[in-house]
Amino acid sequence: MTKLGVNIDHIAVLREARKINDPDPVEALGILHRAGAHQVTIHLREDRRHIHDEDAERIVAQSPLPVNLECSVDPEIIDVVCRLRPHRATLVPERREEVTTEGGLDIFTHEERVLAAIERLHAEEIEVSLFVDPDLETIARSDAIGAEWVELHTGAYANIHAMLLGNLSRSHHCIPDLDLPRHTLATMLEESLATLAGAADHAASLGLKVAAGHGLNYRNVEAVAKMAAVEELNIGQSIVARSVYTGLERAIRDMLALLA
Ligand code: PXP
C-alpha cells in the first residue's frame, strides 16, 4: 500500500488567522497516529507564515510518526533543520509571494546550494528528498548529487484534473489556456499521468525512493496511488479541508482507504 504523509501546515494556517494558540498543530500528532497515517509532514517556510520554529521543535520531539520537514535550501533554514534533526528533510523551492509551492526545485541552476544543503543534512544523518518536477534529467541529477528520495510534483496533473471537473481554483497558474476543449484536457490528463509514471519508474530504476504530492485530493489521488514505483504521497490541503466537516481522523481514514 502507498504510504501517507499528512501535511499539517494548514492547521497552523488556521491558528495564524487569529494569531492565537488554537488550533495547536501538535495536537494533531496523536490523531494522525490513531488514524493510521505513516508520516507527519510540515513546511518550515522562510517567512514562518504558518509553522513556526517552536512548532517544528515540538513536533519533532513529540511525534510518534517520522517527521518529514520541508524547507528551502537557505543556509539559515538548514541550520534550524540540522538542529531539529527530523527523520527526513524535503528540499523545496520557495518564493515569498507564492500561495503554495509552485514548481519543483531547479537543481541545475541552484546546484551548489542544493549540494551544500544535502551535505549538511547528511552530516546530521537526516535523509534528503528533493521536490522535483517529473523530469527525467532532474531525477538523474537528484540521484547523482546524493538524494535518497525524490518527491514528484503532481501539481500539473492535479490542475488538469480540476479543469476537467470544471473545478479549477481562481489562482491557478500552471495552465494558461482555460478554455481548452474536453477531449484536449482528457489527452493532457493521460499525458500528465504517463509523465509521472515514467518519472517514478526512472527514479526507482536508479535506486531512489519515490514520493509524490501537491494538489492531490479525494477525487484525483487514486491514479497516482496506483503507480507501483510511488511509495508515499504527501497530502495536506484536501485532508485538512475535509477535516473541518468530518474531523481529522475520519478525513485521514478516508484518504487511506483510497490509497489501499
Ligand atoms: N509536498 C510538498 C513538497 C509540498 O510543498 C506540499 C505543499 O506544502 C505538499 C506536498 C502538499 O500539498 P497539498 O497541500 O496541495 O496537498
pLDDT per residue as tens digits for the range 196-217: 999 999 999 999 999 999 999 9
Q: Are 37 and 256 in contact (CB under 8 A)?
A: yes
64, amino acid identity: P
Of 21-25, 30-34, 172-176, 227-231, which range is least confident? Answer: 172-176
User: Which of 38, 153, 202, 214 is flagged as catalytic?
Assistant: 214
Q: Would you call 43 a catalytic residue per the annotation?
A: yes
Q: Is 205 exposed, middle or buried (0-12, 13-18, 19+ CB in 10 A)?
A: exposed
Total tally of structural domains belonging to the chain: 1
Could you tell me the residue range of the domain that residue 177 belongs to? 3-259
Determine the Cα–Cα distance for residues 36 and 54; give it in Å rounded to an integer: 25
User: Has residue 169 got a pLDDT over 60?
Assistant: no
Cell of 100: 503554495
Cβ density class 132-149: b for 16+ within 10 Å, e for less: bbbbeebbebbbeeebbb
In CATH, what number is assigned to the domain containing residue 155?
Answer: 3.20.20.70
Determine the Cα–Cα distance for residues 249 and 30; give it in Å rounded to an integer: 10
Place of cell 497515517: 37
Residue 43, strand partner residues: 70
Distance 232 CA to ligand 1 centre (A): 13
Among protein residues, the one whose CA lies closest to atom 3 of ligand 1: 131
Among protein residues, the one whose CA lies closest to atom 4 of ligand 1: 214
pLDDT at 170: 47
CA distances, 7 to each of 50, 63, 93, 236 (Å)? 12, 13, 17, 4
- Please compute the mean of the pLDDT values over residues 4-16 and round it to a whole number: 97
CA distances, 191 to each of 156, 160, 197 (Å)? 11, 10, 10
Q: Are 69 and 35 in contact (CB under 8 A)?
A: no
Q: Are 111 and 150 in contact (CB under 8 A)?
A: no
Distance 197 CA to ligand 1 centre (A): 19
Which of 188, 185, 257, 186 is CA-nearest to residue 225? 257
Distance 43 CA to ligand 1 centre (A): 9
Distance 111 CA to ligand 1 centre (A): 22
The residues lining ligand 1, judged by C-beta closer than 6 Å to any ligand atom, are 7, 9, 43, 70, 90, 92, 100-101, 131, 151, 213-216, 234-238
